[in-house]
Structure 1
Amino acid sequence: MAVTQADIDRAATLAALSFSEEEARRLVEEFKRVLSWIDKLREVDTEGVEPLTYVHQKGIMFREDETRPCPPRDDALRNAPQHTGEFFVAPRVRRS
C-alpha cells in the first residue's frame, strides 16, 4: 500500500493536526517504512499457529463496582481553573 502526501493531509485533517511541509514529508516516509514492516510480517508462515487472543492465561481480573460519594459540587468547582455557574469551562479542542 502506497502512502501519499494526500493520505497524510487527510489523516491530519481528521485528527485536527497540522504539519509543516517538512514534517509531512517525513511522515510519508515513516508510514511507508511501517507499512513495509507489516508487509514483511504478512510473509511469515503461520500455518498451525494458534491465534493469540490474550497474553495472560487467566484473562482480565475484574473488581466489583463500588459506589462512593461524590465530592461536594463547590469543592470540585473550587479546584477548577475556570467555571461558569455549576459547570466546568474547558478550552475548545476542535476547530469548527
Structure 2
Amino acid sequence: MKKSILFAFFLLLAAIGAQAQNITVHGTVLSKTDDEPLIGASVFSETLKSGAATDIDGQFTISVPKGSKLTISYVGYVTATVEAQAEMTIHLTIVR
C-alpha cells in the first residue's frame, strides 16, 4: 500500500514537472510599416511541428516548450524567427 501511494505521488510530481516546462504564448503580429494587425499570419513552432494563425486583431495563442523558437510568416512580409516568451509583439517588415 505504501509503495502504491509513493508511486502515485512521484507520478504526480513528474506530470507537474513536465507541464512546468511549457509556456503559453500570447502575442500580436503587426506590420512594421503602419502598426496594423496582420490577419491570418502563421505562427509555427519547429519543436512541436504545429502552429497557429492570427485572428482579426493579429493576436495568437500557442503553447510551446520553454526556450523554443517561433517562426512567423505572412505573404509579402519578411519571415521572422523569435524566441517564445509569455507575452510578445512581433513586427514584420514588407519584402522590398
- With normalisation by structure 1, the TM-score equals 0.27
Q: As a proportion of its length, which structure holds more strand? A: 2
Q: As a proportion of its length, which structure holds more helix? A: 1
Q: Which has the higher contact order (CA 8 A, sep 6+)?
A: 2
Rg bigger for which structure?
1
